[in-house]
């Protein structure tokens, strides 16, 4: 299709790993029989389509193949199998400064990098002042790159890559370079690109940035594409992967929704994981008796709270289980609507199925895009650091003043802990309740600092 910027089809990447350098030489010279290497499959049949003007995030644990797929897209690596088609001029923020000549000065490296990307000298001439102003390294730009500090080096490299005006921008963990002022400048430029309708592929472990900027997210794990959808949907699934609680959905072999439909739903903010993949209709509320690590409906033995999400994400070992939860206002009335500036309390009731040495009870508040705004737990607050026995029931309350801006928010609850230094999730309920904040004064950002203002 004409509007496709990047098409990745059945992409495979296999690395040969050698125990020692001599094994590589022996294999190259065909000395001895058999292979002298082991194979590591970094990518396993990955398919992905990115359209012009989209901002697509790629997330996953270390070693999931995120950087490998970006390097193949940009031509730094060649695939073992499969195909990548790119329509448009790419600028990549991968290994910043990888193409710099350490003997050249900053100006010479700007022209060297620009030429490598595919720009003419005339085009670089037109952008030179803008690049120098963005990098802001002063007269060091006339000194050899080998004399630069690490901060100056990445500032110049970033300035070259992002000011060349590409059609496709590839970003790999590169927005948080330099000091806080330069980082702000980088994010501002990134937002400009998005507003201009540039195609952006964004890899980051900063889930807040993924949630804020991306239209759609692809989740990789150990070289396999686990899924794609809205930022909120994929971030929630990624958190299951991080704690070993992810279970692949059952295979469906007929009339599945095509990726095209899932992308369209993601663009409209529809969570594809909560649709029946055969019909595209909203799935029935359900509980899986054999597998509790699923997108589920209202769970058993639970009080149905006001404004409860009927299809919350629930998982955990269930050594402890959250059985009740609700919110009360400053008068003690159960509600989902809180007036800004008043006190409110989050309640949760937890039943212990087994002995636990030190359970941690937690809540998180997110905005509707899935960005975590605030939250705390009993460990942070030093409120409960005791062991519990099977059959114990704990009533936990978190009371605080509501200083968030007016709007809608999502509340998540959890019970976790450490078993032999390993972080363990006993029970998590993501986006279990909607919470609406009523305000007659909204300020800038997520919350109100309640400034006292005087004018004389």
Identify the CATH number of the domain in which residue 214 sits.
Answer: 3.40.50.300
- Judge whether 100 lies within some domain: no
- The answer on 207 and 294 residing in a single domain is no
pLDDT in tens, 116-174: 777 888 888 999 999 999 888 889 999 998 898 877 888 888 888 788 778 898 888 76
Average confidence (pLDDT) over 333-348: 94
CB 234 within 8 A of CB 227: yes
- DSSP character at residue 211: H
Q: How many CB atoms lie within 10 A of CB 363?
A: 21
- Judge whether 242 lies within some domain: no
Of the three residues 202, 219, 236, the one that is the final residue of a domain is: 219
pLDDT in tens, 377-406: 999 999 998 999 999 999 999 999 999 999
Sign for the CA dihedral angle at 102, 106, 112, 117 comes to positive
CATH number for the domain including 357? 2.70.50.60
pLDDT in tens, 171-230: 887 666 667 777 778 888 888 888 888 899 989 888 888 888 899 999 999 999 999 999
CB 358 within 8 A of CB 349: no
- Judge whether 161 lies within some domain: no
The count of structural domains within the chain is 2
- The answer on 68 and 173 residing in a single domain is yes
DSSP E strands, 165-306: 168-172, 199-203, 216-221, 224-229, 294-295
- Judge whether 412 lies within some domain: yes
- The answer on 201 and 304 residing in a single domain is no
- DSSP character at residue 251: P
- The answer on 438 and 316 residing in a single domain is yes
CB 401 within 8 A of CB 379: no
CB 111 within 8 A of CB 188: no
């Amino acid at each position: 299709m004409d509007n496709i910027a990047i098409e990745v089809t059945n992409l495979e990447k296999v690395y040969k790993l050698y125990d020692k350098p001599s094994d590589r030489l022996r294999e190259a010279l065909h000395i001895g029989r058999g292979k002298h290497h082991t194979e590591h499959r970094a990518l396993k049949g990955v398919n992905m389509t990115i359209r012009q003007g989209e901002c697509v995030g790629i997330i996953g644990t270390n070693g999931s193949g995120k950087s490998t797929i970006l390097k193949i897209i940009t031509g730094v690596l060649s695939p073992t199998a499969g195909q990548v088609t790119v329509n448009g001029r790419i600028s990549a923020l991968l290994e910043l400064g990888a193409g710099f000549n350490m003997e050249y000065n900053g100006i010479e490296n700007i022209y060297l990098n620009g030429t490598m990307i595919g720009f003419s000298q005339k085009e670089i001439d037109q952008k030179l002042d803008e690049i120098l102003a963005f990098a802001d390294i002063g007269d060091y730009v006339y000194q050899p790159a080998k004399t630069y500090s690490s901060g100056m080096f990445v500032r110049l490299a970033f300035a070259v890559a992002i000011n060349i005006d590409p059609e496709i921008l590839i970003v790999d963990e590169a927005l948080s370079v330099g000091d806080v002022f330069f980082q702000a400048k980088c994010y501002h430029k990134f937002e400009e690109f998005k507003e201009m309708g540039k195609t952006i592929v964004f890899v980051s472990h900063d889930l807040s940035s993924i949630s804020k900027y991306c239209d759609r997210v692809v989740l990789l794990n150990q070289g396999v594409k686990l899924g794609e959808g809205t930022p909120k949907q994929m971030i929630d699934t990624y958190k299951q992967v991080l704690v070993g609680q992810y279970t692949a959905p059952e295979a469906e072999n007929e009339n599945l929704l095509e990726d095209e439909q899932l992308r369209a739903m993601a663009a409209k903010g529809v969570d594809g994981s909560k649709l029946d993949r055969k019909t595209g209709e909203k799935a029935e509320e359900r509980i899986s008796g054999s597998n509790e690590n699923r997108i589920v409906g209202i769970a058993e033995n639970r009080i149905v709270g006001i404004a409860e999400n009927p299809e919350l994400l629930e998982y955990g070992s269930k050594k402890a289980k959250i059985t009740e939860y609700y919110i009360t206002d400053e008068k003690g009335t159960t509600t989902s609507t809180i007036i800004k500036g008043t006190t409110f309390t989050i309640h949760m009731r937890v039943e212990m199925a087994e002995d636990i040495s030190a359970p941690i009870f937690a809540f998180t508040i997110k905005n509707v895009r899935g960005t975590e705004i605030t939250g705390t737990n009993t460990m942070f607050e030093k409120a409960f650091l005791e062991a519990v026995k099977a059959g114990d029931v704990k009533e936990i309350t978190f009371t605080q003043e509501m200083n968030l801006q007016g709007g809608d928010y999502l509340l998540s609850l959890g019970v976790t802990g450490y078993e032999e230094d390993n972080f363990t999730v006993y029970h998590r309920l993501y986006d279990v309740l909607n919470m609406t904040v009523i305000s007659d004064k909204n300020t800038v950002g997520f919350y109100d600092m309640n400034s006292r203002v005087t004018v004389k």
